[in-house]
């Protein structure tokens, strides 16, 4: 395997074989997570490994994605300032500025980096992965379900297992539209710039809707930006409920 | 090389050889970035490749890290709702809900996943990497320097190049302290739990302060949580200046 092949061929896997991931392999993935770079070396994330079938089912309902409950491994990556706040309190009698937005973002970043690092490791050893941003459809309920203490917040979910499907590689827009030199570049007409991509996207078959071609990218953008899930818009209010301060 | 070796041996590289990264390799890294999973497939991030030496210098000053200016490649990953907002406006006459906090977080997540994916690729092909959360020491100034339009926000920087140092593997706390089953686990005494780790950390030599042992982890936590950089606490206010709405 070419060094970068698994990364260049990344695709989301949503259907897994029933075969569990051997515990030794799972431990290796968690060893990789452990070595991930973190902001200031502060390790401001935690992982909840969801093994209880009822809890998996409840999370699948939050996600509005039945297949979430069937993932052999389901991990929820959370931003975590609780642990360091407790360490500071025990050591120096104060949690200091553990709750501010800077720390909140550091935790979010740490959680995302660890999640992607685990995905890279999983794909290197023949596993498939799906990210679940949809856990945020109801972050408040998820906090309750996982008994998340103050100064923690769920960031992203991850389903892992042996792939039971071979999806087509999903087309992406050209890098000329998103990699710029020295300053941001806007375009006069984005629809002109993405015309080929819009067309290419319609040759892609999403296995979630088998045999049905997907919309052009620009139509997808319009549909997504119109769709509002109230509880997702409340994300900062829920973060504040979890003790983070603006 | 074992499949996961480069990930298990991740360490931050801050000193690079002057040798540039060949453009063909750089293009491969960007091809990997392009294939990264993104929220809803919406690709809500962009990358600014900083090649102008004066601009690199200005960013190094924001970071308070001189070595930033010497990185052969300096990339700034930004959350980007500007592009999709423009697409929606052109296609359907409205940007809809492009500015809400849900979309802001999707952009932040997309930017982080792409950055970690590039780091994994870089390390697989023998390059070294340093994440730069310190670009947020003055996010407002960075927005100006990079001419970031509304609905974009800088998330994390990345320095890349051929390593010119071999740092010791930095100790991490045990996974038992951050990986939990089904619900979050708090501990009665964190200082007891991390006693060995506190000790281990003091055997680590940070090459930034050569020949000087570092503080215990708990002392580092206290020092970091006490340190306030005003402009970093303003991160949400600056995001709002960039057009995001609470």
Position A207 pLDDT exceeds 80: no
Contact B90 A124 (CB under 8 A): no
Please name which of A107, A110, A122, A104 lies closest in space to residue A36, comparing C-alpha atoms: A110
Report the C-alpha gap between B218 and B233 in whole angstroms: 22
| pLDDT tens figures, B54-104 | 999 999 999 999 999 999 999 999 999 999 999 999 999 999 999 999 999
Residue B3 banded pLDDT, cuts 50, 70, 90: confident
Per-residue pLDDT, averaged over A189-209, amounts to 90
Neighbours of A211 (CB within 10 A): 7
CA angle, corner A128, sides to A17 and A203, nearest 5? 100
- Name the closest residue on chain A to residue B45, using Cα atoms: A178
| pLDDT tens figures, B30-54 | 999 999 999 999 999 999 999 999 9
Position A1 pLDDT exceeds 60: no
> Which residue in the set A55, A184, A217 is minimally distant from B152, CB to CB?
A184
Residue B68: the pLDDT is 98
Residue A211 banded pLDDT, cuts 50, 70, 90: low
- Name the closest residue on chain B to residue A52, using Cα atoms: B182
| pLDDT tens figures, A234-243 | 999 999 999 9
> Which residue in the set B34, B170, B178 is minimally distant from A46, CB to CB?
B178
| pLDDT tens figures, A10-42 | 999 999 999 999 999 999 999 999 999 999 999
* B152 neighbourhood in chain A, CB within 8 Å: 184
Residue B206: the pLDDT is 76
- Secondary structure of residue A205 in the 3-state scheme: strand
> Which residue in the set B10, B221, B224 is minimally distant from A35, CB to CB?
B10
Ramachandran sector of residue A144 (left: φ over 0; alpha: ψ -120 to 50; beta: rest): alpha
Per-residue pLDDT, averaged over B174-185, amounts to 98
Residue spans per domain, chain B: 5-167
Question: Contact B61/B135 with Cβ under 8 angstroms?
Answer: no
The DSSP H or E segment spanning B79 is: strand B73-80
Report the C-alpha gap between B12 and B15 in whole angstroms: 9
Give domain A5-167's CATH number out of 3.40.50.2020, 1.10.357.10, 3.40.109.10, 1.20.1080.10.
3.40.109.10
- Name the closest residue on chain A to residue B86, using Cα atoms: A190
Question: Contact A46/A80 with Cβ under 8 angstroms?
Answer: yes
| pLDDT tens figures, A38-67 | 999 999 999 999 999 999 999 999 999 999
* B55 neighbourhood in chain A, CB within 8 Å: 182
Please name which of A12, A71, A70 lies closest in space to residue B39, comparing C-alpha atoms: A12
Interface predicted TM-score (ipTM) of this complex, two decimals: 0.97
Position A199 pLDDT exceeds 60: yes
The DSSP H or E segment spanning A7 is: helix A5-8
Q: What percent of chain B has pLDDT over 70?
A: 98
Neighbours of A160 (CB within 10 A): 24
Residue A179: the pLDDT is 98
Position B2 pLDDT exceeds 90: no
Report the C-alpha gap between B39 and B37 in whole angstroms: 7
Residue A201: the pLDDT is 94
Residue A210 banded pLDDT, cuts 50, 70, 90: low
Q: Are strands A128-132 and A152-161 parallel, antiparallel or unpaired?
A: antiparallel
* A184 neighbourhood in chain B, CB within 8 Å: 46, 48, 78, 82, 146-149, 152
Residue A165: the pLDDT is 95
């Amino acid at each position: 395997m070419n060094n970068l092949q698994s990364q260049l061929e990344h695709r989301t896997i949503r259907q897994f074989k029933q075969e569990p991931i051997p515990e030794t392999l799972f431990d290796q993935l968690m060893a990789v997570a452990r070595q991930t770079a973190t902001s200031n070396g502060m390790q401001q994330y935690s992982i909840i490994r969801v093994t209880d079938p009822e809890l998996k089912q409840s999370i699948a309902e939050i996600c509005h994605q039945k297949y979430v409950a069937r993932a052999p491994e389901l991990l929820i990556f959370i931003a975590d300032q609780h642990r360091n706040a407790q360490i500071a309190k025990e050591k120096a009698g104060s949690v200091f500025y553990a709750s501010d937005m800077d720390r909140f973002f550091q935790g979010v970043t740490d959680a995302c980096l660890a999640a992607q690092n685990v995905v890279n490791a999983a794909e290197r050893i023949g596993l498939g992965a799906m990210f679940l941003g949809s856990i945020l459809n109801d972050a408040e309920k998820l906090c309750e379900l996982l008994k998340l203490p103050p100064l923690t917040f769920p960031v992203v979910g991850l389903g892992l297992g042996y792939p039971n499907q071979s999806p087509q590689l999903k087309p992406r827009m050209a890098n000329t539209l998103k990699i710029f030199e020295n300053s941001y570049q806007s375009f006069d007409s984005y629809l002109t710039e993405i015309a080929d991509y819009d067309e290419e996207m319609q040759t892609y078959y999403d296995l979630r809707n088998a045999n049905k071609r997907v919309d052009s990218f620009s139509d997808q953008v319009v549909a997504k930006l119109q769709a509002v899930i109230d509880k997702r818009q409340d994300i900062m209010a829920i973060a504040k409920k979890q003790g983070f301060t603006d």
